[in-house]
Amino acid sequence: MVVKVKILTIFPELFPGFLGSSLTGKALKDGLWSLDVVNIRDYAFDKHGSVDDTPFGGGAGMVMRPDVLGEAIKASHKNGRIIYMSPRGKPLTQDLAKELGKEENITILCGRFEGVDERVIEAFKIEEVSIGDYILTGGDQAAQILLDAVLRLIPGVIGNEESIKDESFEGNLLEYSQYTRPVEWEGRKVPEVLMSGHHKNIEEWRKQQAIEITKKRRPDLYKKYLDLQKV
Ligand code: SAH
């Protein structure tokens, strides 16, 4: 399956951005996913390509017009999920990334200014997704982060599929600490057990580490982990 990504933006030059490099870039070249970038300005009604206007009710900034966005969406979005990157959206998590990784068509609307007219979100039943509790200048950056998380889960994008199973957030735990050569660096040694070749002990040590790190750094995740152990 090829994941077909459609981006609606007023800054098409920002794509593929960092998605064009490294593993996602190679996967794009290899045809594991495709990218179609739609310039919202092409659907503006005036020759200046206006896409925004002042907010009803007053207040700072500009809002993206529903009529222009509506035309852009109608012309480009045929099927699959349609997402608007928004600080008000549901938080992007590894679980959501996995869910989206199973979709064949993903359309993403990248906001600018103060955001988009609410009616367009209602009319097209657009899902809102946030990449965190902070404000960016635009949805383009957020869309690339979401896509990076989703695309690396497509079989074949990451060379070693095994590495996905063991990562942070699997089973609600953060990852254990990692070590590589040299065995001793500036007086610091690699934990003995990792060099023992005793797989069961290594696995046990890593699990314990993951639990302790999660408990200390992310009490919210740790609680989920404990709750899951009970069932
Ligand atoms: N006025 C809005 C913020 C607008 S920021 C508010 O207070 O909620 C401009 C655009 O950047 C948004 O339309 C959205 O597409 C994008 N954006 C900003 N922060 C984001 C975040 N944390 N997650 C996803 N998209 C974000």
Q: Quick check: 162 pLDDT over 80?
A: no
143 within some domain = yes
pLDDT computed for residue 82 by the predictor: 98
118/197 same-domain check: no
Query: Is the distance from CB of 116 to CB of 63 less than 8 angstroms?
Result: yes
Query: Is the distance from CB of 81 to CB of 107 less than 8 angstroms?
Result: yes
120/181 same-domain check: no
160 within some domain = no
40/132 same-domain check: yes
Å from CA of 141 to ligand 1 middle: 10
Q: Which residues pair with 52 in a beta bridge?
A: 64
What CATH number does the domain containing 192 carry? 1.10.1270.20
36/130 same-domain check: yes
Q: What is the DSSP letter of 126?
A: P
131/70 same-domain check: yes
Domain that holds residue 67: 3-151
What CATH number does the domain containing 85 carry? 3.40.1280.10
162 within some domain = no
Domains contained in the chain, number: 2
Q: What is the rounded CA–CA span in Å between residue 51 and residue 112?
A: 10
* This model's pTM is above 0.85: yes
71/172 same-domain check: no
54 within some domain = yes
Which of 85, 128, 129, 141 best tests ligand 1's pocket when mutated (most atoms within 8 Å of CB)?
A: 85
**pLDDT tens for each residue of 62-120:** 999 999 999 999 999 999 999 999 999 999 999 999 999 999 999 999 999 999 999 99
96 within some domain = yes
15/68 same-domain check: yes
pLDDT computed for residue 231 by the predictor: 85
Q: What is the rounded CA–CA span in Å between residue 170 and residue 78?
A: 33
Beta carbon of 121 within 6 Å of any ligand 1 atom: no
pLDDT computed for residue 151 by the predictor: 98
pLDDT computed for residue 160 by the predictor: 75
27/108 same-domain check: yes
157 within some domain = no
Short-list 53, 45, 48, CA closest to 72: 45
Query: Is the distance from CB of 224 to CB of 172 less than 8 angstroms?
Result: yes
- The pLDDT of 215-230, averaged and rounded, is 97
Backbone angles phi, psi at 12, to 5 degrees: -60, -25
131 within some domain = yes
207/115 same-domain check: no
What number of H helices and E strands is found in the chain?
A: 8, 9
Å from CA of 123 to ligand 1 middle: 20
- The pLDDT of 183-198, averaged and rounded, is 98
216 within some domain = yes
Beta carbon of 146 within 6 Å of any ligand 1 atom: no
